[in-house]
Structure 1
Amino acid sequence: MLGLRTKPSDSKSTKSDVMKQARRQVLDAICDFLLDNDLAITPDNLLAAHGAFAGGNPGLARQIAARQQSGARVEQDWLDEVTANQATERKDVAIERLIGKLEQNLDAFTKSSKAAHRASSDYSTKLEAHVVELEQVEDTGQIITGLADLAKAMAERTRQVEQEMRKSEEEAKSLRRHLDRAKRDAEVDHLTGLPNRRAFEALLDKHYREAQAEVDSLSVAFCDIDHFKKVNDTHGHDAGDRVIKLIGEALARISNDNCHVARHGGEEFVMLFRGLTTQEAKQRLDEAREEMAARKLINRRTDEPIGQITFSGGVANVFGYENPRAALKAADEALYKAKQGGRNQVHLA
Structure 2
Amino acid sequence: MSNASAAARLKRFFGAGDEDAGEGEVAISVRPSHLRVAADSSAERLMEEISSFLLGNRLAVTARNLLVAHSAFSGEDLTLARRIIDRIASGEGVTQDWLDGETPIEDPAGSAKRLTEQLQTSIDGFTATTRSARDTAASYNTELAAHVNEASAAAEGADVTRIVTLAQAMLERARTLEAEMEARQAEAEELKERLARAQRDADIDHLTGLPNRRAFEALFEKNLREAQQQIDQLCVAICDIDHFKRVNDTHGHDTGDRVIRAVAETLARITDDKCHVARHGGEEFVMLFRGLSKTQAREKLDAVRENFSQRRFVNRVTDTPIGQITFSGGVADVFAYANPRDALKAADEALYVAKEQGRNCILSAG
Where on the TM-score scale, by shorter chain, does this alignment land: which range? 0.7 to 0.9
| Aligned residue number for residue 224 of structure 1 | 240
Deviation at 1:159, TM superposition (A): 0.4
What SS does structure 2 have at the residue aligned with 1:224? strand
Please name the residue that 1:27 is paired with.
51
Contact preservation (8 Å) 2:46, 2:73: no
Q: Which amino acid aligns with 1:162?
A: E
**Scaled by the length of structure 2, what TM-score is found?**
0.75
The 10-residue stretch of structure 1 (245-254 or 40-49) with the greater mean CA deviation from structure 2: 40-49
Structure 2: which 5+ residue stretches go unaligned?
Answer: 1-41
Q: Once superposed, what is the RMSD of the aligned Cα atoms?
A: 3.3
Q: Which runs of 4+ in 1 moved over 6 A?
A: 18-22
Residues 56-71 of structure 1: matches in 2 within 5 Å?
A: 58-59=77-78, 62-64=81-83, 66-67=85-86, 71=89
What letter corresponds to residue 250 of structure 1 in structure 2? T
Q: Is 1:131 the equivalent of 2:155?
A: no
Quick one: which amino acid aligns to residue 228 of structure 1?
A: F
1:92 positional shift: 12
SS of the residue 2:207 aligns to? coil
Partner of residue 73 from structure 1, selected from 79, 88, 91: 91
Whole-Å separation in 2 of the counterparts to 1:280 and 1:320: 15
The answer to whether residue 350 in structure 2 is matched with residue 334 in structure 1 is yes
**Could you tell me how far apart the structure 2 residues matched to 1:126 and 1:103 are?**
35
- State the AA in 2 paired with 1:55: S
Match of 1:272 in 2: 288
Question: Which gives a bigger RCO, structure 1 or 2 (Cα 8 Å, sep 6+)?
Answer: 2
Structure 2 match to 1:111: 128
TM-score w.r.t. length of structure 1: 0.78
What amino acid sits opposite 1:87 in the alignment? P
Change (3 A) 1:265 1:88: farther
Pairwise CA distance, 1:80 = 4.3
* Shift, 1:282, TM fit: 0.8
1:265 positional shift? 1.1
Distance 1:177 1:308, change over 3 A: same
Greater shift after overlay, 263-272 or 22-31? 22-31
Q: Greater helix share, 1 or 2? A: 1
CA spacing shift, 1:97–1:240, aligned 2, 3 Å: farther
Secondary structure, in 3 states, of the residue corresponding to 2:239? strand
Is the contact between residue 315 and residue 334 of structure 1 (CA under 8 Å) also seen in structure 2?
A: yes
Deviations 1:128-186 (A, max 9, x none): 223234334465662x4443333222211110111011111222222233333333333
In structure 1, distance between residues paired with 2:53 and 2:199: 41
CA distance in 2, matches of 1:222, 1:271: 6
Q: Residues 237, 218 of structure 1: CA spacing in aligned structure 2 closer, same or farther, 3 A cutoff? A: same
The CA distance in 2 between the partners of 1:214 and 1:24, in whole Å, is 43
1:137–1:226 Cα change, 3 Å: same
Secondary structure class of the residue paired with 1:87: coil
1:207-246 equivalences under 5 Å are: 207-246=223-262
User: Paired residue for 2:167?
Assistant: 151
Paired with 2:170 and 2:188, the residues of 1 have a C-alpha distance of 27
Between the aligned residues of both structures, percent identity stands at: 46
The structure that has the greater radius of gyration is: 1
